[in-house]
Structure 1
């Protein structure tokens, strides 16, 4: 099988149906398979999805798997990957829709570039506006840049800025968004699956880091277009925009990421530099009513979650009530 497309559903059945509908004319059932993992939604997701599969005679090319536990982004995708053998795996968010020809272009790119182990498309809004989806790795200095949110500091440390400008030509990056990412089976065979210690967030960055370390490259082909609703399958982006406190699992993932890539000293540096940047942002907010800080509620304290034990198992969202 050339390609297995993995989609995670968690209480987003109508979004999942939408992405499946966008795949109908794109999937060659002779060499492709779609796997939908329901991550223990505990709602009417399975009924809605099963009904759609029957009404559209889609059971021949879509496997619906019900997980009895929500293991997050990594665990859900790993379950899908392990359920089917393929040369390539396309991880596809439920809050996406595939533009015509995107799947074909991603596969062609994978075949033309043996050095590229991960290939991503251009992500865009429903209106066609390109989204930032190609990045550098997060570093302690990038934490300083983000929390300070000051043009002078951003310019001074521009080589550490995480988000990269949108380009209209193919290029290599340190990592790209896993909202839609093609991963060659060879990569997984060499470096392993997604790290399930990450419930959600930073698992894509860490996986890309391992891939690059093993000699693979991450390639973005903007000729392939995929619509991304951004945050439709997760509350973090919307809560960040509103400056509300984001879920604990985000900070647990952040802590684990900095520890795995930079060690305990790197994690400490990231937190200290973030605090320094946040202090600068605070002073700016006192001096100017027009300045708006990017810092969300209780971020000062939440950055230190699991600091003393970075590899501690994540707290499942069902096990806490964070307000």
Structure 2
């Protein structure tokens, strides 16, 4: 009987050939150095890339398991494709724009093996210059949405006192802690977890799928653990268009989250989102005369319903 794979690393790719190459090179190096080469499978799910991603994979990474989609079904759906087919004990979701360092995989696996109640764990994400990247937070209840929309959780004293939806203060990243959600850029979990809580929600195209999934994980009495001693470089950023899309998609995913889990509170959520969008429209679009943000938050205001 064939031995079960210990780990499967799943990477979703969409037109990021150059970044994907760097990601795979760093990943393969660490897998070899940590003695995981024969017990780890790398799977890349390509979401209809039009660049040279497929040629790159077929020519230079023949050992990588490749799943090819004709179109782009989204981050959650693509990951689910690979998760459903996985035969590994542990699954590590990794963005194509990441680079992992020494002992990341073995350290995450060690933590996961240390406690059965641990549902998912993730590293600290850092920018290429070593600076901290926001990647954790707490469940988006109405109070936290209120604090976020009115910038209350950014106030110097309150930003450490209030558990925020998006943790921006470095205080929250200073030590190992249990949080409500982690960024999907680098997540480790047991494959069996999906039998208890289900898969990522295919209805969320991008931005917010990890928030919704981690909510179900905690609801099933599993823990979500942030491990700041383990670091992964995440080349997040991109153009203003991408940042704008992220804001719109996050608003959209929050509305969906409430429709799914708290339908009786959807009116209050939309009201808070509209207030937040209007405030940002005035501050950044009108007073600061930033035309792109004026258009962005006008769209966000409309999207909130």
TM-score (normalizing by structure 2): 0.84
**Residue of structure 2 equivalent to 1:143:** 145
Deviation at 1:250, TM superposition (A): 4.7
1:40 paired with 2:48, answer yes
1:204 paired with 2:210, answer yes
**Residue of structure 2 equivalent to 1:273:** 272
Counterparts of 1:261 and 1:296, CA distance in 2: 31
Counterparts of 1:214 and 1:26, CA distance in 2: 33
**Residue of structure 2 equivalent to 1:297:** 295
Provide the secondary structure at the position in 2 that maps to 1:169: coil
Provide the secondary structure at the position in 1 that maps to 2:72: coil
Deviation at 1:75, TM superposition (A): 0.8
Deviation at 1:153, TM superposition (A): 11
- Partner of residue 49 from structure 1, selected from 57, 65, 69: 57
Count of residues in Structure 1 that have an aligned counterpart in Structure 2: 293
CA 1:124–1:157: 2 relative to 1, 3 Å? closer
Counterparts of 2:44 and 2:192, CA distance in 1: 22
CA 1:146–1:303: 2 relative to 1, 3 Å? same
* Gaps in structure 1 of 5+ consecutive residues: 308-323
Deviation at 1:2, TM superposition (A): 1.2
Provide the secondary structure at the position in 2 that maps to 1:87: strand
Counterparts of 1:175 and 1:181, CA distance in 2: 10
**Residue of structure 2 equivalent to 1:258:** 258
CA 1:23–1:272: 2 relative to 1, 3 Å? same
**Residue of structure 2 equivalent to 1:124:** 126
Q: Is the 8 A contact 1:91 1:181 kept in 2?
A: yes
Q: Is the 8 A contact 1:176 1:218 kept in 2?
A: yes
Provide the secondary structure at the position in 1 that maps to 2:30: coil
* Gaps in structure 2 of 5+ consecutive residues: none
Deviation at 1:246, TM superposition (A): 5.7
Deviation at 1:185, TM superposition (A): 1.4
Deviation at 1:251, TM superposition (A): 4.3
Counting only pairs closer than 5 Å after superposition, residues 16-95 of structure 1 correspond to structure 2 as: 16-27=20-31, 28-54=36-62, 59=63, 62-95=64-97
Deviation at 1:280, TM superposition (A): 4.7
Q: Is the 8 A contact 1:8 1:39 kept in 2?
A: yes
CA 1:280–1:71: 2 relative to 1, 3 Å? closer
Counterparts of 1:148 and 1:292, CA distance in 2: 19
Identify the structure with the greater helix proportion. Answer: 2
Counterparts of 1:294 and 1:153, CA distance in 2: 28
TM-score (normalizing by structure 1): 0.80
Counterparts of 1:275 and 1:154, CA distance in 2: 26
Provide the secondary structure at the position in 1 that maps to 2:88: coil
Deviation at 1:287, TM superposition (A): 11
Counterparts of 1:51 and 1:198, CA distance in 2: 33
- Partner of residue 181 from structure 2, selected from 175, 179, 190: 175
Counterparts of 1:206 and 1:185, CA distance in 2: 18
Counterparts of 2:229 and 2:279, CA distance in 1: 40
- Partner of residue 7 from structure 2, selected from 3, 6, 16: 3
Q: Is the 8 A contact 1:139 1:160 kept in 2?
A: no
Deviation at 1:194, TM superposition (A): 0.7
Deviation at 1:82, TM superposition (A): 1.9
Deviation at 1:300, TM superposition (A): 4.1
Counterparts of 1:306 and 1:34, CA distance in 2: 39
